[in-house]
């Protein structure tokens, strides 16, 4: 009997955990793997973090991986399907028929085969805020659980509005749909700023770029979403090419609110 067991075990591959590898499980039951060498994923699963500190990460064909963070010192090769909030690597390569749903990607080189598919690919959180802000109504209609596998420049005008304060706003954590106040709870400073901006966006001389930028702030204030407003208001006001006293007053009210928060 012992001999048969030994013979059967020889049919299975050997798992080697290199020295220096860290394997943890978070409170949600997700695995976190950090290894000094190359990491090859041959089995579908949900992970918190996947990291190769010196090598590369490969997700093989017909493997579906979901992860909060994927980080490789060299390259991240995708043959199967990857769904991730953030992927950081010198090179991200999607091979034939590979699929990747990546919200934030940080790479020096991005390779896509003709039959691969990449969805997302934002460079920073501000881009995510601006994109989601345009489709809030559609997002509210989405079902609570979606299976993904089943399915702005920096140029400014010479006369652009430039905030006088250099105070850094604390980094906001992305939340969905974001913190909101009821009408009677909205801070007075933000209420006044919203009133000013709703008046200013109706100015006929306002150009399309300025209007688009400031509408995002107006939308966030109307939704009582302080996380969104805090992340975008400084860039939005900087994009205004024809500043006015109303815009300046609105900025000072919003900026003062976040500096006191």
Strands in 26-143 per DSSP E: 31-35, 39-41, 45-52, 57-59, 64-72, 75-78, 81-88, 91-94, 99-106, 109-112, 117-122
- Cα distances from 190 to residues 111, 163, 217, 250, in angstroms, run 44, 17, 11, 8
Q: Between 176 and 50, where is the model more confident?
A: 50
pLDDT tens digits, one per residue of 19-46 = 899 999 887 788 899 999 999 999 999 9
pLDDT for the residue numbered 154: 43
Alpha-helical (H) ranges within the chain are 2-9, 125-134, 136-140, 188-200, 208-222, 226-238, 245-260
Structure-token pair, residue 53: 């500190």
At 250 the pLDDT is: 92
With a cut of 50, say whether residue 158 has pLDDT above it.
Answer: no
Which position has the higher pLDDT, 155 or 44? 44
Global pTM value = 0.52
| Segment 102-145, tens digit of pLDDT | 988 888 899 999 888 888 877 777 777 776 766 666 665 555 55
């Amino acid at each position: 009997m012992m001999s048969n067991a030994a013979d059967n075990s020889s049919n299975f591959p050997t798992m080697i955990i290199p020295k220096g590898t860290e394997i943890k499980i978070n409170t949600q039951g997700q695995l976190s793997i950090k290894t000094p060498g190359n990491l090859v994923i041959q089995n579908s699963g949900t992970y918190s973090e996947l990291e190769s500190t010196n090598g590369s990460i490969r997700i093989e064909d017909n493997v579906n991986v979901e992860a909060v963070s994927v980080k490789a010192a060299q390259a991240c090769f995708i043959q199967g399907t990857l769904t991730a909030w953030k992927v950081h690597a010198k090179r991200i390569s999607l091979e034939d028929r590979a699929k990747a749903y990546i919200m934030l990607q940080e790479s020096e080189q991005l390779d896509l085969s003709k039959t691969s598919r990449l969805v997302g690919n934002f460079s920073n959180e501000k881009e995510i805020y601006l994109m989601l802000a345009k489709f809030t109504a559609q997002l509210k209609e989405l079902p609570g659980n979606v299976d993904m596998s089943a399915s702005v420049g920096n140029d400014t005008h010479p006369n652009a509005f430039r905030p006088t304060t250099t105070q850094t706003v604390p980094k906001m954590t992305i939340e969905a749909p974001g913190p909101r106040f009821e009408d009677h709870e909205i801070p007075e400073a933000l209420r006044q700023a919203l009133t000013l901006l709703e008046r200013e966006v109706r100015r006929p001389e306002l150009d399309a770029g300025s209007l688009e930028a400031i509408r995002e702030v107006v939308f966030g204030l109307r939704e009582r979403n302080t996380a969104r407003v805090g992340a975008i208001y400084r860039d939005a006001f900087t994009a205004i090419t024809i500043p006015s006293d109303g815009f300046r007053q609105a900025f000072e009210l919003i900026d003062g609110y976040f500096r006191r928060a």
